């Protein structure tokens, strides 16, 4: 089937696109710099788009496509959350999603894609302490929660057009070569690793292979719609995660990083590493998704070698 993918040149997309082409799908990537990603070597085509403006070239690719996958958005970890950075994070997500939905709306009903698989974040829930958060839990408060609410609101407009819409609320993604893994592992490699803050908050995560698998599963399973918690089932408190990281690397894990130091260095961006969500992937488990790396121990063992 033909799949149009926006924002597919990032960390997840670079793994997802080859997986889709290996499965026999025709993949068209909407990109600001066609040809720069190197994904054409995986069998995908690239078409230029600016992330917000309707253009005949890329709108025509959606006409008759089976599905649209939207991963577009400024990297939330790409810098401090200044006022301008916050605006860019929100606008890049709502504008790109809005443009895709507008393109779908302009098509005859029988030419619209069957599904829109839209990225979102587990930050939708805000900082909720020990509250267990199934896929249908209410939104929280804070910048990331507000961002995800606006992002999902833009995507849900596709539901009114008869398009099955899936909202992929993604946890921290771990994979080989991931910047997050490098930054988290570095203190441990230097014998200075340990919990962040008091280490009591929950730390949802997912292996790169499983987030790729969940996008494929969402494409193929027509019963899946609405929000999906894209997390591994083995959600731990951050101090437990630190212990597993230390064991995987053969390093101590008792050296904590005080919360005040993180807030001083990172400002409001520190909330991304000091707030957690006890999110449970109930929809994925109920609809038969099989994890390759369901436990933190197996996930870290694969990533860290």
Q: For residue 16, give its domain range.
A: 2-173+205-231+279-291
Looking at residue 233, the DSSP 8-state letter turns out to be S
Phi/psi at 174 (5° precision): -110, 130
- 50 assigned to some structural domain: yes
- For residue 92, pLDDT over 80 is answered with yes
The model's pLDDT over 245-263, given as tens digits with 9 standing for 90+, comes to 899 889 888 877 766 666 6
Number of H helices, E strands in the chain: 11, 13
| CA distances, 6 to each of 12, 18, 74 (Å) | 12, 14, 12
Residue 236 located in a structural domain: no
71-75, 184-188, 278-282: the lowest-pLDDT one: 184-188
pLDDT at 207: 97
Instruction: Say how many domains are in the chain.
Output: 1
Average pLDDT over residues 15-22: 96
Q: How far is CA 83 from the centre of its chain?
A: 23
Beta-ladder partners of 115: 67, 164
Residue 115 placed within a domain: yes
Helix (H, G, I), strand (E, B) or coil at 95: helix
Mean pLDDT of 6-33: 94
Structural domain includes residue 298: no
Is residue 39 in a domain? yes
Q: Is the pLDDT at 141 greater than 90, yes or no?
A: yes
With 0-12 / 13-18 / 19 or more C-beta atoms within 10 angstroms meaning exposed / middle / buried, residue 298 is: middle
Torsion of CA 56, 61, 64, 65, to 10 degrees: -150
pTM for the structure as a whole:
0.93
Cα 290–Cα 171–Cα 165 angle in degrees, nearest 5: 70
**Distance between CA atoms of residues 298 and 59, nearest Å:** 42
Q: Is residue 263 part of a domain?
A: no
In this structure, what CATH number is given to the domain that contains residue 166?
3.40.50.720
**Chain-centre distance for alpha carbon 30:** 18
Return d(Cα 86, Cα 268) in angstroms, integer.
11
**pLDDT score for 2:** 97
For 144-173, how does the pLDDT look when each residue is reduced to its tens digit (9 = 90+)? 999 999 999 999 999 999 999 999 999 989
The pLDDT tens digits of the residues spanning 222-237 come to: 999 999 999 999 999 9
Q: How far is CA 171 from CA 27, 64, 120, 230, in A?
A: 25, 32, 9, 6
275: left (phi > 0), else alpha (psi -120 to 50), else beta? beta
What is the DSSP pairing of strand 164-170 with strand 26-31?
A: unpaired
**Whole-number pLDDT of residue 167:** 98
Q: Are 114 and 66 in contact (CB under 8 A)?
A: yes
Which has more confidence, 303 or 282? 282
Of 203, 184, 166, residue with least CA distance to 279: 203
Decide if pLDDT at 108 tops 90.
yes
219 occurs within a structural domain: yes
- Any domain includes 261: no
Alpha-carbon torsion (137, 138, 141, 145), positive or negative: positive
């Amino acid at each position: 089937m033909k799949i149009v993918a926006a924002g597919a040149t990032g960390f997840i997309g670079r793994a997802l696109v080859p997986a889709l082409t290996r499965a026999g799908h025709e993949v068209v990537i909407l990109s600001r710099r066609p040809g720069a990603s190197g994904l054409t070597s995986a069998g995908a085509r690239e078409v230029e788009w600016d992330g917000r403006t309707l253009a005949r070239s890329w709108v025509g690719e959606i006409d008759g496509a089976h599905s649209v996958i939207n991963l577009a958005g400024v990297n939330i970890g790409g810098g401090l959350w200044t006022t301008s950075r916050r605006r860019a994070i929100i606008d890049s997500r709502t504008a790109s999603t809005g443009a895709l939905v507008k393109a779908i709306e302009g098509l005859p009903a029988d030419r619209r894609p069957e599904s829109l698989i839209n990225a979102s974040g587990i930050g939708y829930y805000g900082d909720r302490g020990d509250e267990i958060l199934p896929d249908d839990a209410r939104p929280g408060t804070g910048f990331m929660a507000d961002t995800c609410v606006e992002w999902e609101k833009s995507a849900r407009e596709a539901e009114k057009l008869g398009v099955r819409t899936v909202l992929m609320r993604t946890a921290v993604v771990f994979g080989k070569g991931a910047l997050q893994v490098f930054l988290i592992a570095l203190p441990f490699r230097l014998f200075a690793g340990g919990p962040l803050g008091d280490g009591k908050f929950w730390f949802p995560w997912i292996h790169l292979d499983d987030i790729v698998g969940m996008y494929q599963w969402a494409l193929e399973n027509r019963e899946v719609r609405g929000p999906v918690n894209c997390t591994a089932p083995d959600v731990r408190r951050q101090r437990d995660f630190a212990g597993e990281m230390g064991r995987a690397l053969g390093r101590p894990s008792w050296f904590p990083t005080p919360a005040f130091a993180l807030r001083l260095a990172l400002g409001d961006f520190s909330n991304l590493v000091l707030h957690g969500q006890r999110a449970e992937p109930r929809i994925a488990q109920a609809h038969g998704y099989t994890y390759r790396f369901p436990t933190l121990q197996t996930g870290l063992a694969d990533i860290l070698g």
